[in-house]
């Protein structure tokens, strides 16, 4: 009787949205490379030679998850890691040639998938959609480390 309407719960909606995206990714982009894997590859295309921690920071993955994703990408020869000679704790990450080719190929498909995913929204609605989600996510992330709010924003 005291049941709640989950369609007014942002967390529930976020989960459904992510699941829907997962499925579409699998059918339209790749069954091999996942969306988080692509995000990591993308970070390394933007800036080759990053270490794991920084990659995780850029794409929003904690150190454990980044380590797993990188292990899998390494197993498929899409990326390789070498010990930083300047700092023996770090590993420097770089895509292989095959990794670069894969990233290029998936970039095209990802763009197509986003079109399909966002098809129900008009151009203005898409802008609003991005803006609202970004604001909610950013605020929640700040609740986590209030430390660097000043740095991150102005």
Partner DNA sequence: TCGAAATACTCAGTGCCCTGACTAATGGCG
Partner DNA sequence: CGCCATTAGTCAGGGCACTGAGTATTTCGA
Binds 42, which of DNA, its own copies, none (CB < 5 to 8 A, cut-off by type)?
Answer: its own copies
Rg (CA), the chain: 18
Give the number of residues in contact with DNA, rule: CB under 7 A.
28
Which residues pair with residue 95 across a beta bridge? 79
- Supply the minimum distance, in Å, between the C-beta of residue 110 and its own copies: 7
- At 93 the three-state DSSP class reads strand
Report, in Å, the least distance between residue 116 CB and DNA. 16
Site for DNA, residues 93 to 152, rule: CB under 7 A: none
Closer residue to its own copies, CB minimum distance, 85 or 120: 120
Contacts of 13 (CB under 8 A, 6+ apart): 7
- What is the distance, to the nearest Å, from the Cα of residue 150 to the centroid of all Cα atoms in its chain? 24
Burial class of residue 117 in the structure, from the number of CB atoms within 10 Å of its CB (0-12 exposed, 13-18 middle, 19+ buried): middle
CB of 108 to its own copies, least distance (A): 10
Q: Is 89 in the site for DNA (CB under 7 A)?
A: yes
Find, among 54, 51, 55, 62, the residue nearest to 90 by Cα.
51
Least Å distance between CB 4 and its own copies?
6
User: Contact with its own copies (CB under 8 A): which of 57, 76, 81, 117?
Assistant: 117
Q: Assess 129 for contact with its own copies (CB under 8 A).
A: yes
Q: Select from 30, 57, 62 the least CA-distant residue to 46.
A: 57
CA distance 140 to 135: 9
Nearer Cβ to DNA (68/131)? 68
Which residues contact DNA by CB under 7 A? 15, 19, 22-23, 26, 34, 36-37, 51-53, 60-65, 67-70, 72, 86-91
């Amino acid at each position: 009787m005291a049941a709640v309407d989950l369609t007014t719960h942002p967390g529930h909606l976020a989960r459904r949205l992510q699941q829907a995206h997962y499925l579409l990714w699998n059918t339209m982009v790749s069954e091999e490379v996942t969306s988080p894997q692509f995000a990591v590859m993308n970070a390394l295309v933007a800036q080759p030679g990053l270490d794991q921690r920084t990659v995780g920071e850029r794409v929003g993955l904690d150190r454990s998850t980044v380590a797993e994703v990188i292990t899998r990408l390494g197993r498929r020869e899409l990326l390789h890691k070498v010990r930083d000679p300047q700092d023996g704790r770090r590993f420097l990450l770089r895509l292989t040639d095959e990794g670069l080719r894969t990233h290029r190929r998936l970039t095209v498909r990802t763009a197509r998938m986003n079109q399909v995913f966002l098809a129900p929204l008009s151009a203005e609605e898409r802008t609003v959609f991005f803006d609202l989600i970004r604001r909610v996510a950013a605020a929640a992330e700040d609740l986590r480390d209030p430390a660097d709010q000043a740095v991150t924003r102005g």
